[in-house]
Each structure stands twice: as structure tokens, then as C-alpha cells.
Amino acid sequence: MLPTPRTLILLAATALTVPGVPTWAAQPVRARHGMVVTRERHATEAGLQVLASGGNAVDAAVAVGFALAVTHSSAGNIGGGGFMLVRLADGRTTFIDFRERAPEAASRNMYLDANGKATQDSTLGYRASGVPGTVRGLEYASQKYGKLPWASLVRPAAELASKGFTLSYAQAQSLRNGGRGLARFPESNRIFLRDGKFYEPGDTFVQPELGRTLDRIARLGAKDFYEGETARLLAEDMQAHGGLITLDDLRKYTAIERKPLTGTYHGYTLVTAPPPSSGGVGILQMLAMLDGTGFEKGGAGSATVVHYMTEAMRRYFADRAEHLGDPDFVKVPLTALLDPKYIASQRASIDPVQATPSSQVRAGKFSGHESVETTHYTVADDQGNVVAVTYTLNGGYGSKVTAAGLGFLLNNEMDDFAAKPGEANMFGLIQGEANAIAPRKTPLSSMVPTIVLKDGQPFLALGSPGGPTIINSVLEVIVNVLDFHMNVQDAVNWPRFHHQWMPDTLQMEPGYSPDTVALLQSRGYTIRRVNAQGEVAAIRFENGWLEGAPDPRTEGTAEGR
């Protein structure tokens, strides 16, 4: 039983004056009896209230997921899907896959025109959506691992939608910036853009249709979304606009509980996402590649560190393009990808000084086979349960379609398949035959909720949105904490970089010294500067304290009790 609720700790994490060049250490939010770290304050408060009411971390994670569907419209969702990684107080770990799936009517070449060219149908409009999994996945987690009644976890979100909430500056700007695509669909234009009379900061955003949908889900459970009134209205809207999702697709959707991947690095145990996430194998492969190089001796932010980590990224993403896909449809060579001999050969191929051109990097060849707009949140309770959730609509505001009469946006997750194997998707990511479209198949994902254990106990829990940058953002925060001994807030704040094999470009945030950038260029890197990469939400466990680290790149918040 939880102790009597104490005064809530509502501290905002201090952002670095210049990213990566702190004048003093940024401090995480600290608490002893529970911690919730999310992108948006209403969602954080919803999760914390569940903890204060006697719920566990799974209960809080479910409440946060529904609240974000109301307050973080560009990515929070009930029209998308995602992953939940759970580490229970008794030491058990599990991974709940509620990723979207291709409708029964999907086909391999459905997004190619008569000339074999990819169309925009995989990113915009009704045909872009896979069968949503969020409601089923959150209900599965609640029923199997939660404590509180289902309705109590959904009703806070229903009230936020029905009564409205005050828009921040960033939320109002996000709605305005999503305008071009949203304006093409009447329901989206009406709800999110007020038919061109854009919302301003401080306005109250009321979503009555979404409120009614969430109220039905609170009363009737996921059955409403997949078999009831919500399912019927969604299927009818799809049929009326050439979409592929049918009532039968919705009825057949199930969440899948999978065994997490595990590995070790520098004395720590990592528990992470298995396929159809490509992220877990990527984290484990890249850390193993770095182990033994001595890269960390260069110090955080040095050209040596960026060089070695980029070369590991480059080699992993080449493997990702060739070998990763839905394990229920293709044999993913996990054992081969993580084999120490293969890792050693990849490590040996890294030139200690010069960049390896991506044109010279190829995926491993194995004799057998064994697979951006997102948001992540992390929750811990005082019983020892830890939950890391990453879920998504894929692109910002998904397919831009709002289901008629239901108030929620639909995903454009079908673009995460290889619409044309060998060609880049909306993230510039090249994908292979293993991720080709097939009915009922799950598209490959980069989402990688991860929990790090020290001596068998939780030490760090984190995750990130951002398309393929997810994997590298998580990797970098792990390295910042484990190898460079940063506190968790500094580790999240530190400037990030990203390489994904193709295109052969190193993406870097501000904060690296001009000398470091010049040295990397002299080593053969083509550098592209970006304002921000990813949105990590992390919790570190330290001497009985829970240390929450939201990301200053966003309006992220951490609150503890």
C-alpha cells in the first residue's frame, strides 16, 4: 500500500544555458514515492494522481497514455499504437506489443503507381493507416498488471477532452504548423484548426467528440473500440473514403506479449525492445561494438567519441535495412546479429581516425535466418515497478485524418513498411524485403523503451520519439550516464547526433565546439546541423531516490511524490 500522499514535487529541470556546455550541472526532479516523466504537464499530472490514489506504475502509464491522446494531438493517440516495457517489482520483465498492423486488404505494391513510383498514399489520407492498437494494448496491460479499475484510468482523459484544457504556446504553434495537411480533411480542419481561425496560446481546447469516444471506452472497455459503436463508425468512415480498415480488421486485432531482449554492457544489464522493434537489437549491437574500443577515453563531446559512435550507428543501420522485420512473418537473425564474432568483425572494420563511406558498408551476410512523430513516457512507483512506453501516430498528426464523429486522428504507420524495398521512406530510411507490406503484418519500428539494471535492480529507464533517431538518442543517453557518469538530467540535455547509414550524413545538434566539428569534417564526415533531435524521458534510481529527467527540447515535465 502506498504511504499517505506527500506534497507533490513540481520542480522543472534546469536546461543548459548552451546545450552541451553547462556552467553548472542541471538537476533532475527528485522524489521517493513515485515519478512520472512525460511530454505534457496534464498527462504527467494524470499519472501522478493515479499513483497517489494507490495505483501502480502500469496503472499510471495507462492513464498517461489516454491523457496524451487528448493533450498531445500530434503524437499522443488512440488511433495509433506502440510498445510498453514493464519491469515488475518481483523482477519479472515483459514487453507488450500494441503496434499497428496492416489491414487484411493491404498488398505489397499498394503504394506504387503505374510506373512503379511510390505515391504519398502511405503518408497522407485514409489509405495510410494501419489498424490501431493503443486501446487494446493499454487494456491488456491494465487487466494483467494493473490494480485500479479501468474506468478510473480513462475518465481523466475523457474529462480533459470534454471540459477542455488551456493551450500552451508550443501546443498552439504545433496545431498551426500542422495546418497544411490537416486542412485537407474537414473533420481535422474543424477540430484542430477551427476552420482556419487558428487557436492561440491561452485558448481552451475542447474536443467533445473525443470526449464521448473516451467515455464509451471508459464504460465499455476496448470492446467498444474494436467491436462496438466506435468500431462501427470508424469502419464506415474508412469505407466512405477509400480506406482499408474494416470492422473485421478491428475485431481481429490483438496485443502481443513478447519476451524482451537482454544484454550486458560495462557491468549493467539492459532490458530492451525485441522485434518488431529494430531498436533493441540496435542498442545491444552498437554498445557491443563500442565495448573494447576505448572510445570513452576521448571524453563526452569529443571528436573521438562522436566518430566511434557514428561508425557503430552506420554499421547497425546497414544491418537494419537488410535483416529486420516482423518476427511473425520473417525470420530475424537475432543470434547472428549479436554474435560476439560478428560484433568483433564489425568493430575491427572501424578505422580509428577516418570515416568509413557508407557506400563501403554492407549488411552482414548470414547462412541462416532467425526483425516522427512519436512520444515516450516513463513511470516508476514506490513498489519497485517500472514502465517505459513509446507510442505513435508515425508522422506529426499521423495521416491528418480525423475519424468522423470520433474525434481522434488516425496513424500513417503504413509508411513504416518498405513501400518499395530499397528506397527511402518519409524519414529517408532505406528498408528491405523483410519489411515489405503484407496483410496483418506489423511494420518495423525504431521505438525502443529500455530499462537498465545494476546488480539486478532498476538503475535507468528511458525512451525517445523521433523516427530512426530514437535508437541513437537512447544510445547516447545510456552512454552519457554509464560511461561519462553524468547525472540523468545532464545526460538528457547533452547535444545529440545521428547517422543512419544512408544518406551518408552526420546530423548534429548545436553545442559541439567548432573545433570538434572541423575535426570531424577533416575525418571525412558530411555534417548537417539540426536544431533538436528526439525527446528523451528518463528516470534514474539512485540511493532510494527517483530522479526524473524531462527533455528541455520540449515542454516535457517530471513530477514526483
Catalytic residue numbers read: 374
225/500 Cα distance (integer angstroms): 37
Smallest CA-to-CA distance from 203 within 171, 178, 180 is with: 171
- Per the listing, cell 574500443 goes with 293
Cβ 75 vs Cβ 178: under 8 Å: no
Strands 256-258 and 29-31: unpaired
498/258 Cα distance (integer angstroms): 28
Q: What is the phi-psi region of residue 165: left when phi exceeds 0, alpha when psi lies from -120 to 50, beta otherwise?
A: beta
111/196 Cα distance (integer angstroms): 31
Q: Where are the beta strands (DSSP E) in 233-273?
A: 256-258, 261-265, 268-272
Grid cell of 58 as nine digits = 502500469
286/394 Cα distance (integer angstroms): 24
Cβ 508 vs Cβ 321: under 8 Å: no
185/364 Cα distance (integer angstroms): 44
SS (H, E, C) 514-546: HHHHHHHHHCCCCEEECCCCCCCCEEEEECCEE
The residues facing 35 across adjacent strands are: 380, 560
Grid cell of 240 as nine digits = 466512405
Instruction: State how far the alpha carbon of 135 is from the alpha carbons of 30, 63, 153, 230, in Å.
Output: 31, 11, 12, 12
Grid cell of 316 as nine digits = 547497425
